[in-house]
């Protein structure tokens, strides 16, 4: 009887691991896989205001802007700002440093992580990498 229970527990663990793997993989491909709740920080280069918008919405608007722009453009032009109505919205990051909280344009610091804060020099990517290195 004990062996049966162990077998069931192991089977459940394996199924759980497979489900996590499959769901994790699916989450990383294509715009359609982006959850409605997924948010992205953006910043307006015209009025300097930053705010959060849905990642799906961001991709959708980028796509529309790209289609409306002259052919041959690889990068989507800036999106229309909800605050000032001008085309100045670019992808941004909000500094994870609690004492800072700066909203800055992605890639503000050249040749560095795109989420490096120009104000306090914190980078979420770098912090994550350091944390994962520390675990090994
Ligand atoms: Zn604006
Ligand atoms: Zn900062």
Please report, in tens digits, the pLDDT of each residue of the chain (136 residues total). Answer: 678 888 888 777 777 776 666 666 554 456 678 888 999 999 999 999 999 999 999 999 998 998 888 777 677 789 999 999 999 999 999 999 999 999 999 999 999 999 999 999 999 999 999 999 987 6
Domain ranges of the chain: 1-33, 35-135
What per-residue confidence (pLDDT) applies to 98?
A: 94
Q: Ligand 1: distance of its center to the CA of 55 in Å?
A: 18
Q: Ligand 1: distance of its center to the CA of 90 in Å?
A: 10
Q: Which ligand is nearest to the CA of 123?
A: 2
Q: Ligand 1: distance of its center to the CA of 120 in Å?
A: 24
Residue 63: closest CA among 31, 85, 39 = 31
Q: Which ligand is nearest to the CA of 82?
A: 1
- Radius of gyration of the chain measured on its C-alpha atoms: 21
């Amino acid at each position: 009887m004990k062996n049966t229970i162990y077998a069931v527990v192991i089977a459940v663990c394996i199924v759980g691991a497979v489900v996590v793997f499959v769901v994790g993989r699916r989450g990383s491909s294509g715009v359609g896989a982006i959850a409605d709740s997924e948010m992205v920080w953006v910043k307006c280069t015209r009025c300097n205001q930053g705010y959060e918008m849905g990642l799906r919405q961001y991709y959708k608007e980028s796509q529309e802007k790209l289609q409306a722009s002259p052919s041959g453009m690889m990068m989507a032009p800036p999106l229309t700002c909800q605050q000032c109505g001008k085309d100045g919205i670019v992808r941004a990051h909000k500094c994870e440093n609690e004492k800072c909280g700066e909203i800055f344009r992605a890639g503000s610091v050249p040749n560095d992580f795109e989420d490096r804060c120009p104000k306090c020099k914190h980078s979420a990517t770098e912090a994550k990498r350091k944390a994962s290195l520390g675990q090994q």
